[in-house]
Chain A
Amino acid sequence: MKLLAIDTSNRPLSVAVLADQQILATTTTNVGRNHSSTLLPIVERAMTQSGLEPTDLDRIVVAAGPGSYTGLRIGVTTAKTLAFTLNKELVGISSLAALAANVVTEGQLVAPLFDARRDNAFAGLYRIQNQRPVAVIEDQHVSVAKWAAKLATYNEPIVLIGTDVQKYVEPLRAALGDRLIRARPQLDLPQAGVLGLLGQTATPVANLHAFVPNYLRLTQAEHDWQAKHPEKDHAPYVEKI
């Protein structure tokens, strides 16, 4: 199986081309949020280096969220449109799970975290089982304080992973004490090669048109509107004219 994997969920950008279990080419950057400009050139180069044409691909795997809304849309629009236009399979993998999969210690609890600003985070808890991250607490948008308290109920070491962990390391350490294990810096960046391997065995999306990022949050405007209009529904929101 020839596969292209893309992760632009946050500031890091990672692209990989795989043939079955083999990573043919991969690029990861952590230099900025200009993914709209940089993603496709990096994809093109990875494909060329791998000696592949777009039509040679069997499957596109994308980190589907949570993360930066704009970052997610760039990756998902690219992956979704590529899969659609070439009639290929599309797989979405949790951006947090993809990061957790950098840890390979069997049985280990891993807590990947992305900053969601104002002392909130996108976070999930995973256990590495049979070399894959298995969700223990599902991905959520949560206050860091609440998240620290949830993690503290597990009486075993937890690997905290992600470049944003540093920002909240103090409250997390206060809750977890020496059960908190900080991941090595090289593991903090998502690796599309790892994402691709996870995506290889996952089930492709059945309805490609309906595939959207997993934002994990309603927009503020929709949230406020629903609070004021619990009974109302304006749907369909989008109409063909």
Chain B
Amino acid sequence: MKKQNLILAFESSCDETSVAVVADGHQILSNVIATQINSHKRFGGVVPEVASRHHIEQITICIESALEEANVTYDDLDAVAVTYGPGLVGALLVGVNAAKVVAYAHHLPLIPVNHMAGHIYAARFVKPFEFPLMALLVSGGHTELVYMQADGQFEIIGETRDDAAGEAYDKIGRVLGVSYPAGKEIDQMAHAGIDTFNFPRAMIDEDNFDFSFSGLKSAFINTVHHADQIGATLDKNDLAASFQASVVDVLVSKTHRVLEQYPVKQLVLAGGVAANQGLRERLQKDLPTAFPNTELLLAPLKLCGDNGAMIGAAGYVQYQHHQFGDASLNADPSLEFDWMPGMVK
């Protein structure tokens, strides 16, 4: 039997410290995730300095657990992969420096991984990618459509011009009295409500692949404030349902628009907001009829949030191409994919 390639993968870009062991880029041997949600709940959102401090508390515990749960030693490893951006710089620095040290101490190659590439490769644990491929990446920090000609090649086709979708969820969550992170609870409320408020679908008819969610957020907040002023009580579930309907409509219609112009073999849905049931259900319902030749790959629910396994999967592609970093690797908080050549931003 051919020896498997094992990658020890680090992720610390926001409020989860995670270390995973991944075999051949598609088999999870361990995926230890220490989440700080309970800490940042106190503040209604992630406080970068607090996040950085938690990462340094957790990092060696996560390494130890990841190796133990995978039942491997350093001698079994072939490489170390790490998220080096985008993300919170102080948070990224903990993972980057820890990963560099493990690579140095055990003479292993170091693989610098783009966090957003990691999110896309979370779907690689479902089945192998077929190209060309389109990814709809939706998270608290990003909302973008990414075109992939081949493994490891990422080109942005469209993105949000203001808030990320997940950010909008958190902001309206505050108005609804839902604690951070609000996505999951609003998703559940939306399923119990009806779209009655007809919030705007920003840029839905514009001939581009970009998104905007700040107008929706403002419309939502204005509606609630207006009701407060006249002493009316609005149904929170209907508010959530109306908000979510707008988000999903915009995301799905833009995705349809992009697929008309770029026929692809697979559509990947990934990122934290990919865990949203409303979004998953709509794509599962619409895509087969609208684009019968495009297969829908939903990132597994457990791998939608930040985790080391997805970094190991993306890192494995770079491992095969010998795309290694060195001891001077630094965090790059605003790391981006390139825009597709010829696309007007």
Contacts and interface: CB of A to CB of B under 8 A. Distances in A.
B179 to A, nearest CB: 11
A234 B54 CA distance: 14
Contacts of A69: 49, 52, 90
Nearest to A83: B60
Interface residues of B, number: 47
Nearest to A86: B105
A178 interface: no
Nearest to B33: A241
Interface of B: 17, 32-39, 41-43, 47, 49-50, 52-54, 56-61, 63-65, 74, 89-90, 93-94, 96-98, 100-102, 104-106, 326-331
Contacts of A41: 326-328
Given A73-B90, A212-B56, A240 B64 contact: no
Given A77-B59, A77-B97, A239 B35 contact: yes
Interface string A70-90: 100110111011101110000
A44 B104 contact: yes
Contacts of B100: 40, 78
A131 interface: no
Interface stretch (A9-17, A31-39, A108-116): A31-39
Majority SS at the chain B contact face: helix
Nearest to A72: B56
B104 A54 contact: yes
A209 interface: yes
Contact of A234 (B35, B42, B90, B94): B42
A110 B208 CA distance: 65
A238 B50 CA distance: 11
B56 A213 contact: yes
Q: Is chain A's interface secondary structure helix, strand, loop, or mixed overall?
A: helix
Contact of B43 (A40, A55, A225): A225
A215 B33 CA distance: 25
Interface hub of A39, A77, A78, A212 (most chain B Cβ within 10 A) = A77
A212 to B, nearest CB: 5
B60 A84 contact: yes
B92 to A, nearest CB: 9
A80 B43 CA distance: 29
B42 A225 contact: yes
Interface string A218-237: 01111001000100001111
Nearest to A208: B60
Given A208-B60, A209-B60, A73 B101 contact: no
A40 B110 CA distance: 13
A81 B101 contact: yes
Given A44-B327, A54-B105, A74 B35 contact: no
Contacts of A206: none
Contacts of A78: 97-98, 100-101
